[in-house]
Amino acid sequence: MRTAAHAGSKLMSSWLLFLAVSLISTGNIKASTLHASDKAEARGLSVKAASGSIPPGGVTMVDIAAPDEWPDARVTEVRFLGRPFPVYRTGRNHWFAIVGAGLKVKPGRHSITVKWRRGHASDLTVSALYIKRKKYPEEHLKVSRKMVDFPPKILKRVLADQKAVKDACNRVGREKYWQGPFIWPVKSKVLSPFGLRRFFNGQPRSPHSGVDLRARDGVPIKAPNNGRVALARECYLSGNTVVIDHGGGLFTLYAHLSKVKVRPGQMVKKGDVIGLAGSTGRATGPHLHWGVSLMGMRIDPQQFMALSEKHFSNL
Ligand SMILES: [Zn+2]
């Protein structure tokens, strides 16, 4: 029995190796992932990412399944890029985790490590997720010196705002508030994409940490899913800013609101109006700056929404 399974997995390996080689020759970068997940299955636990590769700022879902003969199996941790991502059980022998990568991650092969227990035994299953290279577009702007250099008093305020937002997005709770697919906070067009590399007078600024959505002054902004208001603050640069905690290290951020309709600590439901669009703070005109943060890393809202539409219907 053992030998047959072993031979089978060996046959599978050589087939995958062939597939990997043919993919490499056609320039597909997912090749190494296929080989790694095959190894994971041979050990009993199956670990599959919805996409074999993601760009920096990307996000994917990892499905974990234990064989039927392992009713006592428990997945205790999913680690990627050195940090633990919350893992949720969806069935007797099924779990999932949403994993993502910040913009600063190095392209190449990275490990997804799944820690699991069975009875008194515990083990690790390692799978691979490839970070592919992506060159985000650049934008060069000529602005007045006043826009680039802040006087000390303003700089102090900007740094305090940034710390408050960062702290809010780092308060990771295990409880999952979100349910099913996310909805767009406003149905409109993306005016400026995530990751845009901005230069002011030739000097690089931090890349765009969210998307700018077209929204006229006063347009209602909706909570994209259930959650708890983690922050509502008037910031110097991002104006009236709201952060919603959706649980499990997943947060969404709303900036430049003309009016805030929620208070910190308040629970919100998918579709609730959390504020009105505007141009408070430093904005060239009314729009919604929308950010998604996962385990303290800013990820691409458009990619997140694509993942949500495809995979979140039963979660
Ligand atoms: Zn923006």
Give the domain CATH number at 261: 2.70.70.10
**Are both 187 and 284 inside the same structural domain?**
yes
Domain that holds residue 154: 138-311
- 118-168 pLDDT tens trace: 888 888 889 999 999 999 999 998 887 776 778 899 999 999 999 999 999
How many Å lie between the centroid of ligand 1 and the Cα of residue 172?
24
Domain annotation covers residue 6: no
**Are both 298 and 179 inside the same structural domain?**
yes
How many Å lie between the centroid of ligand 1 and the Cα of residue 85?
26
Rounded (5°) CA angle 188-193-197: 160
What is residue 177's predicted lDDT score, i.e. its pLDDT?
97
Amino acid type, 131: I
Domain annotation covers residue 26: no
- 59-117 pLDDT tens trace: 999 999 999 888 889 999 999 999 999 999 998 899 999 999 999 999 999 999 999 99
How many Å lie between the centroid of ligand 1 and the Cα of residue 265?
25
Total of domains in the chain:
2
- 208-237 pLDDT tens trace: 999 999 999 999 999 999 999 999 999 999
Q: Are the C-beta atoms of 215 and 184 separated by less than 8 Å?
A: no
Starting at the edge strand found earlier in the chain, the sheet holding 138-141 runs: 138-141, 197-200, 203-204
Tokens of 86: 């919350």
How many Å lie between the centroid of ligand 1 and the Cα of residue 207?
10
What is residue 41's predicted lDDT score, i.e. its pLDDT?
44
**Are both 175 and 70 inside the same structural domain?**
no
**Cα maximum dimension of the chain:** 74
What is residue 122's predicted lDDT score, i.e. its pLDDT?
85
Of 63, 97, 131, which residue constitutes the final position of a domain?
131
**What is the β-pairing status of strands 220-222 and 273-276?**
antiparallel
- Name residues whose C-beta falls within 8 Å of residue 200's C-beta, 6 or more positions apart in sequence: 141, 142, 143, 147, 148
**Are both 236 and 147 inside the same structural domain?**
yes
Of 105, 131, 157, which residue constitutes the final position of a domain?
131
How many Å lie between the centroid of ligand 1 and the Cα of residue 243?
15
